[in-house]
A and B are shown apart, each in its own frame.
Chain A
Amino acid sequence: MSLVLKGGRVIDRSGERALDVEIGDDGRIAAVGIGLSGDLDLDASGCVVSAGFVDLHTHLREPGQEEAETIETGARGGSLGGYTALVAMPNTDPATDCVAVVDQVRNLGRRTTCEVIPSAAMTVGREGVDMAPMGELVDAGVGIFTDDGTGLQDPRLMRRVMEYSTGLAGRLGRRVVLAQHCEVSALSAGGFMHEGEWSSRLGIPGQPAEAEELMVMRDIALVRLTGAHMHFQHLSTASSVAMVRGAKAAGLPVTAEATTHHFTLTDAACASYDPVFKVHPPLRTDTDVAAVKEGLADGTIDAVATDHAPHAPHAKERPFDQAPPGMLGLETAFALTLGESGLDLPEVLAVLSWRPAAIAGVADRHGADVEPGAPANLCVVDPDETWTVSGAAMASRSLNTPYEGRSLRGRVRHTIRSGEAVVVDGEARR
């Protein structure tokens, strides 16, 4: 059965043009042109047809915390957000630090509406003490390693992991990516929001920006030493962005992501004491938000990631200090990036699709140009539709969106995953 996306504007790396897109039974684009028709036509008028989005930073919570999210519900939310691939973070229970858990995550992912790309921990149990079996994991197809949720504190072990990763490129067939959650825990411990004027006023213990910046600084130095590829997760401070800008100018193999919340919200939101605004790294100041946007504008920051971090409602019904950090992001990322990043539409698609696809090593199947023969991992977005955010209406098992009740402009109309229409007219099909 053929499927045609009809009447839209295609935007990809080669530019923008009005085209219908026909998708064949083999899950690939069969033809592009004007006046195409298939067994099923999906209306794309007024919309943009793009390669599907790729999230470098998703917490799917399975195995271990299925009350907050499952791989199935997370992937459904991803599809509703225009994503066709999600990089699953390894802070599961048990941690994704061995081939058995990687296989479990990948197999559960196969039944869902997104490609689920397991990342694996750099250290056993994400404990920062012993190196995880990185060779075995690379042989199982893992290309991204991270202890996300915490940074790897020990600089000596970090150096070893970086050196070791450079020797695995041949087995993987491409460079191994190490992704760091930059946070020196000795400086951040006991802090629950950004340390500054608001934390002092609110009496919530803060963590200084320098807790993030010291690890960014250390890892740039270690990249210079080892030549490993370091991807900086969720950059949130002005100095972090400046240091990564400098590292790129020096030709070091570093990439970086920013989350939607770090360029749309500030620490002032914590004045409500609502733990929905508690996140790591914490919401920062207006100056930091401006620096993150500048980093996106000049390419210092390669990709927008969600750090989608579901938490069951009761977990967030606790005092700010005790509540777990994290917020939902998959279903709001496109609208927020379009509306608040300062990027124009083609750049928005770049930071959501083809740039993260290249970092994740999946550019052969995600983020490709829309042309015959390319894998049909696509989304159709309406840049003008306005809608109201509702956690209860989202696919996630959790409700912790910090944008509840906000009116956003820009919505995903259809999502195509390997040729299958998994979202049609903004509704998940399965």
Chain B
Amino acid sequence: MSFDTAARRLSADTVAFAAGSSSLSKGESLRDTIEVVGSYGADLLVVRHPMAGTAHQIAGWTDAAVVNAGDGCHEHPTQAMLDCYTLREKRGSLDGMRIAIVGDVRHSRVARSNVLAFTALGAEVVLVGPATLIPPAVDGWPVTVAHELDPLLGDLDAVYLLRMQRERITEGLVPSMREFAADFGLTADRTSRLRDDALILHPGPTNPGVEISAEATADPRSVILDQVANGVSVRMAVLFLLLGSGRSPSGDAGPEASQPSGREPGVPQ
């Protein structure tokens, strides 16, 4: 919705294309589908897909610009950009900030992009969650890991809650939503123990009473609605740089997105 709003404000035409209603469900390969969409003359594809790497793969099959709007458990780059924008808007700089990313880090594309972005901008990141919801083998990441939230609360510049999905219960990763909320939810009590200048962030939509309480959402330190508003601006900027500015964001011609990143795990760029 945010991308759609951003595109319309820039007076672009948009066509939404959902896998469930399309030929993808009739056995057409993803590549065929992309080629068909390309033949409609799309200049830019905004791709959200439940599987990691899909936007990268698609960028190799089309001349259109490709924006990754979330690929499986991998990344959600524009979310990280709008989160950084919001933090800088409120605090001027991320340098030296201590930010906790709390909850289901394992399955979170938002967390992966934010680890890269926050640390690149000088923040210190601690991942907080039950051991089953922290990714395996994060030793190489530029973060610390904690399994208890309470001892950290008074020492955080920002707390970033991740959306918790009910499937994690049926997958046996946590015993119940009740236990998760009791241990890792930003309850009214925990909110009261945050510093006066701490910020509360969430990528939305929230599960009230699970990872975040209604009190925390409504707290003056919450910037969740600022994140939503900034999301439109940041996405407009992304679209403008890719299509409207007449120059490539990297300063040279050619589809930057189609190049493999080749980046090392955990090394921010």
Given the known interface contacts A197-B139, A197-B265, A200-B265, the answer about A318 and B109 at a Cβ–Cβ threshold of 8 Å is no
| Nearest-CB residue, chain B, relative to A193 | B52
Q: Is A196 on the interface with B (CB-CB < 8 A)?
A: yes
Least CB distance, B136 to chain A, in whole angstroms: 5
Residue A206, interface by CB 8 Å: yes
Q: Is B57 in contact with chain A by the CB < 8 A criterion?
A: yes
| Number of A positions contacting B (CB below 8 A) | 24
Residues of the B chain whose Cβ atoms lie less than 8 Å from the Cβ of A319: 30, 49, 51-54, 57
Which range holds the interface residue count of chain B? 20 to 34
Contact B136 A206 (CB under 8 A): yes
Chain B residues closer than 8 Å to A322, beta-carbon distance? 51
Residue from the set B31, B53, B71, B261 with the largest chain A CB neighbour count within 10 Å: B53
Q: Which residue of A lies closest to B57 (CB)?
A: A273
A195 within 8 A of B: yes
Question: Which one of A196, A202, A314, A320 lies within 8 Å of B136 (CB-CB)?
Answer: A196
> In the complex, A197 Cα to B141 Cα: how many Å?
9
In the assembled complex, the CB of B137 is this many whole angstroms from the nearest CB of chain A, namely 4
Please determine whether A197 and B140 come into contact, CB atoms closer than 8 angstroms: yes
Q: Which of B29, B52, B112 contacts A314 (CB 8 A)?
A: B29
Q: Is the CB of B265 within 8 A of A272?
A: no
Q: Which residue on B lies nearest to A208, using beta carbons?
A: B136
A321 within 8 A of B: yes
A321–B73 alpha-carbon span in the complex (Å): 11
CB under 8 Å from chain B, chain A span 149-204: 195-204
- The answer to whether B30 and A273 touch across the interface, beta carbons within 8 angstroms, is no
Q: CB distance A273 to B136 under 8 Å?
A: no
For the complex, is B75 an interface residue (Cβ under 8 Å from A)? Answer: yes
Question: Which B5-51 residues have C-beta < 8 A from chain A?
Answer: 29-32, 49, 51
Interface residue A205 (Cβ < 8 Å from any Cβ of B): yes
Chain A residue, CB-CB nearest to B49: A319
Indicate whether A197 sits within 8 Å of B53 (C-beta atoms), given known contacts A203-B109, A204-B72, A318-B29: no
- The answer to whether B74 and A202 touch across the interface, beta carbons within 8 angstroms, is yes
Selected contact of B112 from candidates A203, A318, A321, CB within 8 Å: A203
Q: Are B136 and A317 in contact (CB under 8 A)?
A: no
Whether B30 contacts A202 by the Cβ 8 Å rule is: no
Q: How far is the CB of A167 from chain B (nearest CB, A)?
A: 41
Complex Cα–Cα for A321 and B51 (A)? 6
* Cβ–Cβ contact B51 & A199, under 8 A: no
| A271 adjacent to chain B (CB < 8 Å) | yes
In angstroms, Cα B74 to Cα A198, docked, is 11
Known: A318-B30, A321-B72. A204 touches B137 (CB 8 A): no
Question: From residue A399, how far is it (CB to closest CB) to chain B in Å?
Answer: 14
Which of chain B's residues has its CB closest to A195's CB?
A: B136
User: Do B53 and A273 have beta carbons less than 8 Å apart?
Assistant: yes
Q: Which residues of B contact A272 (CB under 8 A)?
A: 260
Mask, A191-235, CB within 8 Å of B = 1, is: 000011111111111101000000000000000000000000000
Distance in Å from the Cβ of B29 to the closest Cβ of chain A?
5
Contact B266 A203 (CB under 8 A): no
What is the chain A residue whose CB lies nearest that of B267? A201
Chain A residues, CB < 8 A from B141: 200-201
> Once the chains bind, are A320 and B51 in contact (CB under 8 Å)?
yes
Determine whether B135 belongs to the interface, using a CB cutoff of 8 Å to chain A. Answer: yes
Please indicate the chain B residues that have their CB under 8 angstroms from the CB of A317 in the complex.
Answer: 29-31
Taking the closest CB of chain A, its distance from the CB of B196, in whole angstroms, is: 35
B251 within 8 Å of A (CB atoms) = no
Instruction: Tell me the complex Cα distance, A205–B50, Å.
Output: 12
Q: Say whether, besides A196-B137, A197-B139, A197-B265, A204 and B53 are in contact (CB < 8 Å).
A: yes
Q: How far is the CA of A109 from the CA of B181 in the complex (A)?
A: 62
Question: Which residues from chain A contact B168 at a C-beta distance below 8 Å?
Answer: none
Nearest neighbor of B74 in chain A, beta-carbon distance: A203
A314 to chain B, nearest CB (A): 5
Residues of B within 8 A of A206 (CB): 136
Distance in angstroms from A47 CB to nearest chain B CB is 38
Which chain A residues lie closer than 8 Å to B30 at the CB level?
Answer: 317-319
List of B residues within 8 angstroms of A318 by Cβ: 29-30
- CB atoms of A320 and B29 under 8 A apart: no
Interface bits B50-89 vs A (CB < 8 Å: 1, else 0): 0111101100000000000001111100000000000000
Known A271-B261, A272-B260, A318-B29; contact A199-B53, beta-carbon cutoff 8 A: no
Residue B262 CB within 8 A of the other chain = yes
Partner of A203, one of B75, B137, B140: B75
CB distance from B235 to the nearest CB of A (A): 21
Within the complex, what minimum Cβ distance (angstroms) separates B33 from chain A? Answer: 10
Within 8 Å CB of B72, what residues of A? Answer: 203-204, 321
Which of B56, B71, B75, B137 interacts with A197 by CB under 8 Å?
B137
- In the bound assembly, the distance between CA atoms of A199 and B73 in angstroms comes to 10
- B218 contacts the other chain (CB 8 A): no
Interchain CB contact under 8 A, A201 and B29 = no
Nearest B residue to A272 via CB reads B260
- Whole-angstrom CA separation of A200 from B138 in the bound complex: 7
A274 vs B261: C-alpha distance when bound (angstroms): 13
In this complex, the member of B56, B137, B140 whose beta carbon has the largest number of chain A beta carbons within 10 angstroms is B137
Identify the 5 closest CB pairs spanning chains A and B, nearest first.
Answer: A273-B53, A203-B74, A201-B265, A200-B135, A203-B73
Name 25 A/B residue pairs within 8 A (Cβ), A-sorted.
A195-B136, A197-B137, A197-B139, A200-B138, A200-B141, A201-B112, A202-B52, A202-B53, A203-B52, A203-B71, A203-B72, A203-B73, A203-B74, A204-B52, A204-B53, A204-B72, A204-B73, A204-B74, A206-B136, A271-B261, A273-B53, A273-B54, A314-B32, A321-B52, A321-B72
- Which A residues are closer than 8 A to B by beta carbons? 195-206, 208, 271-274, 314, 317-322
Given contacts A271-B262, A273-B57, 4 further A-B contacts (CB under 8 A): A199-B136, A203-B53, A273-B53, A314-B31
